[in-house]
Structure 1
Amino acid sequence: MKNLSDQTCPVCQSPDLEQFFAMLEMPVYCNLLWPEQQAARNCPKGDIILAFCPSCGFITNVAFDPAKLGYSQDYENSLHYSPRFQEYAQSLATGLVENHHLYDKDIIEIGCGKGDFLISLCELGNNRGVGFDPSYVPRSEHSSMENQVQFVQDFYSEDYQDYQADLIACRHTLEHIPNPADLLDSLRQSIGNRLSTKVFFEVPNALDTFRNLAVWDIIYEHCCYFAPTSLIKAFTSCGFKVSNVREEFGGQFLCLEAVPTDTGVPPIHEGQDEVEILGRDIAAFTTKFNAKVENWQHKLAQITQAGKKVVVWGAGSKGVTFLNILKLQDLVEYAVDLNPRKQGMYIAGTGQKIVPPELMRDYQPDVVIVVNPLYEQEIRQLLAGWNLHPEFICV
């Protein structure tokens, strides 16, 4: 691994960042809606050069340029059209409401996306909610909650510190911020002396990506990758006391719960053993990544030689990364996705048309590549209902 003498870890300020992996010229956005194929293929691209901090376990893209990004209403990453994900999100919301007695309370969600999770939290406990996200698009199905829930089409910042809450939730946003303290310090300042405020964050689990080789989760938009040790360090360094960190959604996510503290001294978290174990995973990652890509190239060559029709199921981050790393512009014609806002659009970089599942009744694929194994069963059931029984391969 290459030592980076000119950069420090954004979480613990260690000067010992070690570069270990690179993917160049990857789409900057995985979830931007591209209505034209050529525009999708010519989408903005950026380099991913990952570095590991051996002090706290944080992983960062040292080539990340925030100027390349700008989130708007054309950004679409909702997973709530999947029954499997709906079940998970509803269970998560129910647990938060029940465990923290969130009934007739005030809730803020930072990076609320299209608002589904915030709506659930407010419906379950008859709560009031405010969601912040520049990509939010008003939806008719939320109209029944308009007296309880409002949405601000902006990034959350100290400009909104007058908005107070009993729970502040933030899911899949922190990994998009180059310096996590930019958000966490602002959040702690906004909470002030309201020490009973509960904080809930969810991020992708770096252990799943770099230990279990869920490599298709490496995308330009994610400039940060958290293991439990680095996630805890980020929060304790910014004035929070962490009460719980756990894996969820088949180990793909990390969930953290915390409260603000006024001690002035961050609680110490002993996790160096975990960091050292992760360091060994990191040292072997590039070799294992290359082997995984070569294995897929071999599989796809066999599919091509057999003249089989293949589709990729999932047009989100995993699908976009899979198609671009393997350069599948010609082999795969369609990417299938349940999200109606994505249907009719095109995959960034490789340009596959994104189509609804119903198209498979006529297309009749021989092979379905499922980019998230957690959705395999619901996809099998859907296709079996149309008497389609293709070969399934999970990435």
Structure 2
Amino acid sequence: MSINNLPNECLFMIFDHFNGFEELIQLSKVSLRWFLVVLLKFSKVKYLQLMDKRQRDGDYIENDKLWKNTRETLKSHNLRDLLPNLRIMEVPKDVFLRLRSPESYDFRRLINEHPKIRGLIGLYEPVENRYNLENIEMVSSDFKFEFKKVFRPNQLKQIRLKQIYMSEFYQYVEYFPSLKRLSLTLYYDSAKPYNGPKLLDLKILEFTPSSWVNKLIGLYFMDSCPNLQSAFLSYSDESDFAKDIVDESIKNFNLRDLVIENAYYLTWTALRRILSKFPNLHHLAIRGYIVEESHVEEFFRLLPRIKLIDSREYDGFIRESADILSKYCEKSNRPIKIYYDCEEEPNEWPQLVNTGDRICYGFDFMKHCFYKTWDSLPHLLDE
């Protein structure tokens, strides 16, 4: 039987085994029918993500992503027409630094003319007056830029900023009060403690303070996010928990997921205060902290609805803490999952921990963020 006699469904299944971008382009030139089948595969692509040049020579499609490594894709093809449902794209730095190069122009044209792009990774200076960003709702940037000249008030729903000072952070919060996800690496300046508007729509907060920043500022800010559901707090050095007081009077009954990375410096007094603020936690990660046997009963009393505890470390696990927690759960007949061994992962363990994807589909903290380290968190989550 000739391949041309196969129904379109079978032809699509065959073409699904071809992933090279240029390879698929060549297949599309065989006939109009083949072109339409290839175009259907292209229409499923929602994300353009850059890859390390050592990974693969040519651009290729994998599920809903176009992995880009070469310049030919942009120079030779109209990606706006080939990828009609593109939603998020990662832009290389030289697009903004070398605005006169042909590749820079093609990237800029794709950003400006594609009607469905909603998210950008890699927004560098200068961007003012050069890009049409009126449809952009999600931004991940490693550089500061004049955001008030680029975006309308309340335009952005998701922001990831790698380098931002406290005073600038307050301006972002006031300018974009309807944020749903906020990821920050915060630097110190002379700003006063946050006293701005409440972020009523914020569902996910990811926060790490640099040196000299009060390590409790993330918890202070969470008090202004009453509907927050998931939080990821990462600490890189000795914290201020021992000398500062956590306000236990302000409760968040909506928080379900909490990650505290590098919790080595947490005292039991500080952890007890923190946990008392979130009585409805379902999933808790305290990586690097050892729960002592004398505290385990109170620990679980503070977590009446806990279902999962992640006590892993970067380079292994804290078996001592996990054993103490497991014995108590068995004794008290509480069916709580306790993860501590990265090498013996259970069947339900997410298979997305070390993918390195900067773009993930679905606004799902437990699936895409909870089990990861700070450096491997996705830049943007597509709702």
Task: Mark yes or no: TM-score above 0.5.
Answer: no
- Greater fraction of residues in helix: 1
- Point out which structure has higher relative CO (alpha carbons under 8 A, 6+ apart): 1
